[in-house]
Amino acid sequence: MYDNTVAQKISKQYNQTPLVNFASVNLNTKLDDLNLNWRERDLPEMERTKHVHRLHPYMGKFIPQLVEIFLRKYQPKLVYDPFCGSGTTLVEANVLGIDSIGTDISIFNTLLSKVKTAEYDVQLLEKEIKDVLQRLYIYKSKFSKDEKVNKLFTIKNEYINNWFAPNTQKELLCYLRLINDYTYQDLLKIVLSRSARSARLVTHYDLDFPKVPQTKPYQCYKHGRVCTPVDEAYKFLSRYTIDTLERVKEFSKIKTKAKVTVNHADSRTVELPRGIDMVFTSPPYIGLIDYHEQHKYAYELLGLQNNETREIGPAKNGQSERAKKEYIDGINAVLSHTRNFMTKDGLALIVVNDKYNLYKPEAVGFKSIGRVDRHVNRRTGRRDTPFYESILIWQKI
């Protein structure tokens, strides 16, 4: 799919300055002028994960600057993301004052998207956050002394008992119970989930794809020494609670009154309003990520409904010919359904790594009017393999 012509063009662009003045993009900006081949020095990690974009780790999301660029170029009135994931499109649309809708089959994804785009009384939030941490600290001091307190924070859950040390479980379950006393429960659930991810019995270098619990000391490739498994959650709960508050404060300074709607539904059948004039989305890459599995700790701790059997292109299905057909049939069903709610000449921008050449606009009532290719060479952790991706630009016909 990505032939030598694309590689040569991108190689030439690496000798030029990539786009970093995003506010300069407008209707007259030419697609050929969009050099989106950023290195770390061009677009540092801190900018890619600004404010609420880093409330929780999420594999498979595109960077917010991609959304911003194309929203500024095409200036839609209502943008829709049928695979909204962690809510990147919705957040960036709101900053620019554009109404947005997001749909996702994963209830955790919709929870995260809602938390990022919600309205907050910052003073009340700060008061609640300080209170929950203070109460957690008091309970924490009693775990080793008070058997009655210990019994309050136990659970018969195989996953939790296997993947978290006993003390870690108590701290997480205590925080979970305390959440019920506050206004911003959903936000605190995201803090809990983020903390649980870091507090699992896993190696420091493999937070993304752990296969079995790590219960003994191990040679850590990340730190270059022997490390021991985590046996507490409090340090993460404290750190991430405060970090979340600061990120919400930062986002509140630029947040607009633009409407954000988040649907927990199947994008192949969800009911949508008429008038969508732009779609901006990144569908799941075939056979790469199980989107429910990556947040299994959250599903187990929070007791969330699991819809993994309805995912499109999950990793467990592989990349066989049958899997490819099932994948593109699912993607086409989403795009065909979405098209019914779009305006005449509405645009669909799709961020893909279409190495199997599966995406055909004519099959779903669109025509191709442009495309921008980019080289993704900034990966973290064990996911450091560079790859190409494209922004396909289609128009409804």
Domains identified in the chain, total number: 2
Do residues 12 and 101 share a domain?
yes
- At 113, is the pLDDT very low, low, confident or very high (cuts 50, 70, 90)? very high
- Is the predicted pLDDT of residue 178 greater than 90, yes or no? yes
- Is the predicted pLDDT of residue 276 greater than 80, yes or no? yes
Query: Which pLDDT score is estimated for 3?
Result: 60
Do residues 103 and 218 share a domain?
no
- At 6, is the pLDDT very low, low, confident or very high (cuts 50, 70, 90)? low
What is the rounded distance in angstroms from the CA atom of residue 91 to the CA atom of residue 118? 10
What is the rounded distance in angstroms from the CA atom of residue 181 to the CA atom of residue 127? 13
Do residues 272 and 392 share a domain?
yes
| Mean pLDDT computed over 6-28 | 80
- What are the b/e assignments for 277-307, b being 16+ CB within 10 Å? bbbbbbbbbbbebbbbebbbbbbbbbebeeb
Q: Check which CATH number belongs to the domain holding 330 and give it.
A: 3.40.50.150
Query: Which pLDDT score is estimated for 207?
Result: 87
Do residues 351 and 301 share a domain?
yes
Do residues 129 and 99 share a domain?
no
Do residues 283 and 319 share a domain?
yes
Question: Where a domain ends, among 251, 286, 309?
Answer: 251
Question: Where a domain ends, among 193, 217, 251?
Answer: 251
Query: Which pLDDT score is estimated for 16?
Result: 80
Q: Which domain holds residue 33?
A: 4-119+258-396
- At 386, is the pLDDT very low, low, confident or very high (cuts 50, 70, 90)? low
- Cβ atoms 196, 215 nearer than 8 A: no
pLDDT single digits (tens) 85-96: 999 999 999 999
What is the rounded distance in angstroms from the CA atom of residue 380 to the CA atom of residue 222? 11
- What are the phi and psi torsion angles at 49 (to 5°)? -120, 35
| Mean pLDDT computed over 102-115 | 98
- At 25, is the pLDDT very low, low, confident or very high (cuts 50, 70, 90)? very high
Do residues 225 and 126 share a domain?
yes
**Gap between the terminal Cα atoms of the chain:** 25
- At 141, is the pLDDT very low, low, confident or very high (cuts 50, 70, 90)? confident
Percent of the chain with pLDDT over 90: 83
pLDDT single digits (tens) 355-377: 999 999 999 999 999 999 998 87
- What are the phi and psi torsion angles at 28 (to 5°)? -90, -5
- Tell me the two tokens of residue 177: 């119970």
Do residues 242 and 297 share a domain?
no
Do residues 113 and 53 share a domain?
yes
- At 388, is the pLDDT very low, low, confident or very high (cuts 50, 70, 90)? confident
Do residues 235 and 263 share a domain?
no
Question: Where a domain ends, among 251, 277, 294?
Answer: 251
Do residues 62 and 104 share a domain?
yes
- Is the predicted pLDDT of residue 226 greater than 60, yes or no? yes
- Is the predicted pLDDT of residue 20 greater than 90, yes or no? yes
What is the rounded distance in angstroms from the CA atom of residue 253 to the CA atom of residue 240? 20
Do residues 151 and 189 share a domain?
yes
Q: What is the mean pLDDT of the chain?
A: 93
- Own/partner pairs for 150-159, CB < 8 Å, 24+ apart? 152/177, 153/177, 157/300, 159/296, 159/297, 159/300
